[in-house]
Amino acid sequence: MKNYICVTCGTQYAATETPPEKCSICEDERQYVPEGGQQWTTLDKLQKNHKLIFHKIAENLYGIGANPKFGIGQRALLVTTPAGNILWDCISLINDTAIDLLNALGGLDAIAISHPHYYSSMIEWSRAFGDIPVYLHENDRQWVQRNDATINFWSGQSKKILQNLTLYNAGGHFDGGTILHWPEGAEHKGALLTGDILQVTADRRHLSFMYSYPNDIPLNKKAVQQIKNITEPLTFDKIYGAWWGRNIPEKAKEAVNHSAERYIRAIN
């Protein structure tokens, strides 16, 4: 019995004797099955063929990724606080290097994930640090491919985890699409960790909003307005997106408002 991992999206599945027939995440219109067909791997193979990338991005913030790129290619973020450490979003690769590095920084107390494309090997990460809780919004429950008692499905618009870290259900890309507000980030000016619920664009001054990125399906006006409304009361100056270098270094709140208005004008 093996926990097979989809090569295209990086999602780890419940243990089976043979690879699953299909990946439900990739069969959905927000993702895709590659031209060569569905392919599977395992964590053991990933550990042999990939290395961990670990960079300090800012004070109390670290990026964790895989080289060469695997799956969608996102990097996770480690936020360290006096009340504990949280892993934001997740990657498929976990190895002894990752465990040692995080333990040297105080360990890991919780995991929170923005949406199903980044569920990856979340259960492996949880178990490596003592079965810590994994926070997912209940609106995305159907997309979990490996159920476990460590998963905490939360409901409603917001949930505080640890001290001064709050999850917000922004919707958009997925019904349970989540962002993380970190008031102490950006030198106490506040930061948002957004995955690609709010997608930092190539110019690092704007954001975009999509239902499907690979298949170019835009969000509707109502969904974009909802994201804007949820971020409006929050205090933040920086946004950290889903990929290396995709961050808005300053005036991020103004960037959200301007980008949402620009986007709505364009789809109108």
Determine the Cα–Cα distance for residues 188 and 186; give it in Å rounded to an integer. Answer: 5
3-state helix, strand, coil in the chain (%, to 5): 25, 30, 45
For the chain, what percent of residues have pLDDT higher than 90? Answer: 99
CATH assignment of the domain containing 242: 3.60.15.10
| Burial 228-240, CB ≥16 within 10 A → b, else e | bebbeebebbbbb
- Mean pLDDT of the region 225-250: 97
- For residue 171, give every residue at least 6 positions away whose Cβ sits within 8 Å of its Cβ, in sequence order, or none: 139, 177, 223, 226, 227
104-145 tens-digit pLDDT: 999 999 999 999 999 999 999 999 999 999 999 999 999 999
Position 167 scores a pLDDT of 98
* Phi, psi at 176, each rounded to 5°: -90, 15
Position 50 scores a pLDDT of 98
pTM (2 d.p.): 0.97
- Cβ atoms of 105 and 85 closer than 8 Å: yes
pLDDT above 90 (res 214): yes
For the chain, what percent of residues have pLDDT higher than 70? Answer: 100
92-105 tens-digit pLDDT: 999 999 999 999 99
Output the DSSP codes for 113-169: -SSGGG-TTHHHHHHHTTS--EEEEGGGGGG-SS--TTEEEE-SSEEEETTTEEEEE
* Phi, psi at 97, each rounded to 5°: -60, -45
CB neighbours (10 Å) of residue 80? 18
Position 28 scores a pLDDT of 98
Find the domain containing 94 and state its range: 5-267
Q: What's the pLDDT band for 163 if we cut at 50, 70, 90? A: confident
31-89 tens-digit pLDDT: 999 999 999 999 999 999 999 999 999 999 999 999 999 999 999 999 999 999 999 99
pLDDT above 90 (res 20): yes
Position 83 scores a pLDDT of 94
Determine the Cα–Cα distance for residues 138 and 155; give it in Å rounded to an integer. Answer: 6
- Mean pLDDT of the region 156-185: 96
- Cβ atoms of 193 and 179 closer than 8 Å: yes
Overall number of domains in the chain: 1
